[in-house]
């Protein structure tokens, strides 16, 4: 089995980490939403801010993958998002897919898997953890690891869901939230949990496949004569 090191930064900003804690030697560096705060696409394009560039620069300096939560603003449309960079290059931004009860943040579109040197990383944005189809889609589409960037946990629900998703869909699931990080393996076991920041977790990347057969009604097709 191949080991992978993940460093979770659950407190402080991206700049504070770069100044005081750089050099983690991790394959993946995860930040929750407090690291960047709000990012305006308009101001980024005008060069007034360089928050996404800061993420790319950190990934270049650390020579790894950086996964960082943020609140994006596209001309007044606000979303919960996660930006992913690897070795100095922005790979993309993934938005939260599900908006609950007309919440403040709008929904995005499309589940994203990032093919990196550390493996195929599926991103779960915040409350998307509550929707099993998101993790199921990541698993079916070949993700080797699912990382959920969350705001702040209010109880044990997120841990229960994390463990259930890892077991049901066969991929390790990690949650990086404000003040707490945790991870579950494909057996549904809690393998790591820590309130420290930064904190490091080494896990063994594993995949297991099974043949599942079911019977169901429908999909009726008439037999064709003459063949």
pLDDT in the model for residue 29 = 96
Q: What is the spatial distance between Cα 84 and Cα 66, in angstroms, rounded to a whole number?
A: 6
The pLDDT value recorded for residue 104 is: 85
Beta bridge pairs of residue 105: none
The pLDDT of residue 1 is 52
pLDDT in tens, the chain (227 residues): 567 899 999 999 999 998 887 667 899 999 999 999 999 999 999 999 999 999 999 999 999 999 999 999 998 999 999 999 999 999 999 999 998 888 788 988 889 999 999 999 999 999 999 999 999 999 999 999 999 999 988 789 999 999 999 999 999 999 999 999 999 999 999 999 999 999 999 887 777 888 888 888 887 777 776 65
First to last CA, the chain: 50
Query: Cα dist. 109→75, 115, 152, 160 in Å?
Result: 17, 19, 23, 26
Structure tokens at 223: 């037999």
pLDDT tens-digit readout, 160-170? 999 999 999 99
Residue among 111, 118, 64 at smallest CA distance from 92? 111
CA 224 to chain centre: 48
pLDDT in tens, 140-195: 999 999 999 999 887 899 999 999 999 999 999 999 999 999 999 999 999 999 99
**131 near 151, Cβ under 8 Å?**
no
Give the pair of three-digit tokens for residue 199: 């904190």
Give yes or no for a contact between 174 and 6, defined as CB atoms under 8 angstroms apart.
yes
- In 10 A of CB 75, how many CB atoms? 7
Instruction: Give pLDDT, residue 208.
Output: 81
For residue 9, the model assigns a pLDDT of: 95
Q: Which of helix, strand or coil describes residue 17?
A: helix
Helix or strand (DSSP H, E) at 52:
helix 51-62
CA atoms of 64 and 23, how far apart (whole Å): 10
């Amino acid at each position: 089995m191949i080991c992978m090191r993940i460093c979770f930064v659950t407190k402080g900003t991206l700049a504070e980490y770069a100044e005081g804690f750089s050099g983690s030697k991790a394959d993946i560096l995860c930040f929750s939403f407090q690291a960047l705060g709000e990012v305006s696409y308009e101001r980024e394009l005008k060069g007034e801010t360089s928050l996404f560039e800061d993420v790319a620069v950190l990934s270049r300096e650390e020579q790894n993958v950086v996964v960082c939560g943020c609140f994006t603003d596209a001309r007044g449309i606000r979303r919960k998002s996660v930006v992913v960079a690897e070795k100095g290059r922005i790979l993309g931004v993934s938005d939260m897919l599900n908006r609950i009860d007309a919440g403040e943040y709008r929904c995005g579109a499309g589940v994203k898997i990032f093919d990196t040197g550390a493996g195929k990383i599926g991103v779960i944005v915040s409350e998307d953890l509550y929707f099993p189809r998101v993790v199921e889609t990541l698993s079916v589409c070949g993700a080797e690891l699912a990382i959920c960037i969350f705001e702040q946990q209010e109880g044990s629900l997120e841990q229960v869901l994390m463990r259930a998703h890892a077991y049901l869909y066969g991929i390790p699931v990690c949650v990086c939230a404000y003040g707490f990080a945790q991870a579950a393996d494909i057996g549904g076991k809690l393998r790591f949990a820590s309130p420290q920041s930064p904190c490091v977790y080494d896990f063994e990347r594993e995949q297991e496949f099974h043949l599942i057969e079911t019977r169901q009604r429908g999909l009726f097709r008439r037999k064709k004569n003459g063949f």
